[in-house]
């Protein structure tokens, strides 16, 4: 069969050109979305009388036959048919005859492909909100189980002040909450219908775009036909959101790698998420967090690639925009794999509380609290800072820690020291002294866990609603009588 657009041409397309310009090798991922959009489109054409109702029914049945072939893996794709849209239309015409050609009435591949991508991303954004919620839940469970576990807090990767391990984990819960908020906000712009814009200027047929939007569950319709077919902001926004999610995952991965090393020994990852060495039998390598950390770069690259494609394009559609898909598909797959592994990896992580406590006891991260102690005694902070600096230097030179000093040794640096200094220096006291909203004190962390759990409930409710809406779209009648 000749190309669906071949009427204008006198020569066959060069085989190398076909291979170079075809997108079917990757855009077949949107096959079900393409069928979904076509079912809504033919329903509208039949309802508006643009296509006879009998033909609309035949086309609907044919599309469902094609869908069955796709879902069973029996659909054969051809590079000569260029993309998923033309492959499906060719198969439809093979199955039901020339009437299948009426499906493309009142639309272009330009608004068709845009619709497919909106449908594809809409589905995956909901999935990612759910997967991020699973990661948050795993972190919250670990936080609850380690509400009394103290760990050194770091700045510049140098021990700074002791904090609750739960407080550290909740920092990532907060990061992922922002990621969820961004995804949910982007859903509004993804959930906008471009179909009906035609190639760039709309169509001469009396179509009903609002009916199509209702059939497909879109909340809004593009106001401008040029914008509808040329807009890829929603993909850029998704790629940017995905890049931030991968940034947060990568930062936590870096800490998991450090914490599981012999030098730290703060945690142990489950064997299911590690691998060994082909030559060194003692090795247990944290390959999952290392690989997630490494794959972050490819997600960044997909974002930059998409921005570069768009930066100098005139309106409306240009073939350059075919490059919008592979990076999007790759990011979806990369992020999906990372998030699905992360929740169980965190959930099965073993925490070495004794080692964490040992680390807290053998450092000077309680030094700031001694300065605060002297300030409360009336000494200006800058003078107190100098006193403690000299005290710490004295300890380093003697090879001891602050709690090892006698009261006489403390008082040689300031007469303001008294017996209460030993209470001030206890790690629990240092942690609980920071009893401010968002601080590491146990009451504040317990309250933060409650707030995070409530936010997770809201996320789960949103996700359930969107999933229910998707199911409703699948079962509603496609051809309106």
- Contacting residues for 362 by C-beta, under 8 A, at least 6 apart: 401
List the structure tokens of 231.
């807009």
**Torsion sign (Cα): 358, 363, 368, 374:** positive
Catalytic, out of 72, 156, 278, 406: 156
Q: Is 277 a catalytic residue?
A: yes
- Contacting residues for 92 by C-beta, under 8 A, at least 6 apart: 59, 62, 63, 66, 100, 103
**Torsion sign (Cα): 248, 251, 257, 262:** negative
Nearest by Cα to 389 from 399, 402, 376, 404: 402
Q: Is 156 a catalytic residue?
A: yes
Q: Give exposure, 386-397, as e/b (b: 16+ Cβ within 10 Å).
A: ebbeebeebbee
CB 107 within 8 A of CB 41: yes
CB 169 within 8 A of CB 266: no
Nearest by Cα to 286 from 265, 309, 314: 265
Three-state secondary-structure class, residue 155 = strand
C-alpha torsion 194→199→203→207, nearest 10: -30
Interatomic CA distance for residues 96 and 102, integer angstroms: 11
Interatomic CA distance for residues 45 and 208, integer angstroms: 8
Nearest by Cα to 299 from 240, 342, 343, 341: 240
H or E element, residue 386: helix 381-398
Catalytic, out of 41, 80, 118, 277: 277
Within its chain, how far is the Cα of 299 from the centroid? 10
By annotation, the residues acting in catalysis are 156, 277
């Amino acid at each position: 069969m000749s190309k669906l657009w071949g009427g204008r041409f006198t020569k066959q397309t060069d085989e190398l050109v076909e291979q170079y310009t075809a997108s079917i090798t990757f855009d077949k991922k949107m096959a079900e979305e393409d069928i979904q959009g076509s079912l809504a489109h033919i329903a509208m054409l039949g309802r508006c009388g643009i296509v006879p109702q009998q033909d609309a029914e035949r086309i609907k049945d044919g599309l469902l036959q094609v869908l069955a072939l796709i879902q069973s893996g029996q659909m054969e794709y051809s590079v000569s048919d260029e993309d998923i849209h033309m492959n499906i239309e060719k198969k439809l015409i093979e199955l039901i005859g020339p009437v299948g050609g009426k499906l493309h009435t009142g639309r272009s591949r330009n608004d068709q492909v845009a619709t497919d991508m909106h449908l594809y991303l809409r589905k995956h954004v909901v999935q990612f909100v759910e997967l991020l919620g699973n990661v948050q839940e795993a972190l919250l469970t670990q936080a609850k189980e380690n509400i009394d576990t103290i760990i050194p807090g770091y700045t510049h990767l140098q021990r700074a002040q002791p904090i609750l391990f739960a407080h550290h984990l909740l920092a990532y819960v907060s990061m992922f909450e922002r990621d969820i908020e961004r995804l949910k906000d982007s859903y509004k712009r993804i959930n906008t219908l471009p179909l009906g814009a035609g190639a760039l200027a709309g169509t001469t047929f009396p179509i009903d775009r609002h009916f199509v939007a209702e059939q497909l569950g879109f909340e809004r319709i593009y106001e401008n036909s040029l914008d509808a077919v040329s807009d890829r902001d929603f993909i850029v926004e998704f790629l940017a959101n995905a890049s931030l999610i991968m940034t947060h995952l990568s930062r936590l991965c870096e800490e998991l790698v450090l914490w599981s090393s012999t030098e730290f020994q703060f945690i142990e990852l489950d064997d299911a998420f590690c691998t060994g060495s082909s030559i060194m039998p003692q090795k247990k390598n944290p390959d999952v967090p290392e690989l997630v950390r490494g794959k972050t770069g490819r997600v960044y690259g997909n974002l930059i690639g998409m921005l570069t494609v768009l930066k100098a394009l005139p309106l409306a559609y240009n073939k350059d925009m075919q490059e919008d898909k592979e990076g999007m598909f790759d990011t979806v797959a990369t992020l999906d794999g990372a998030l699905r592994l992360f929740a169980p990896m965190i959930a099965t992580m073993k925490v070495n509380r004794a080692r964490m406590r040992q680390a807290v006891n053998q450092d000077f991260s309680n030094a700031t609290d001694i300065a605060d102690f002297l300030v409360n005694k009336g000494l200006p902070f800058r003078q107190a800072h100098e006193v403690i600096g000299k005290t710490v230097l004295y300890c380093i030179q003697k090879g001891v820690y602050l709690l090892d000093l006698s009261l006489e040794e403390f008082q040689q640096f300031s007469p303001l020291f008294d017996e209460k200094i030993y209470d001030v220096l206890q790690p629990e006291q240092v942690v609980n002294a920071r009893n401010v909203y968002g601080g590491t004190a146990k009451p504040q962390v317990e309250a933060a866990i409650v707030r995070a759990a409530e936010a997770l409930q809201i996320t789960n409710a949103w996700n359930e609603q969107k999933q229910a809406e998707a199911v409703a779209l699948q079962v509603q009648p496609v051809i309106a009588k």
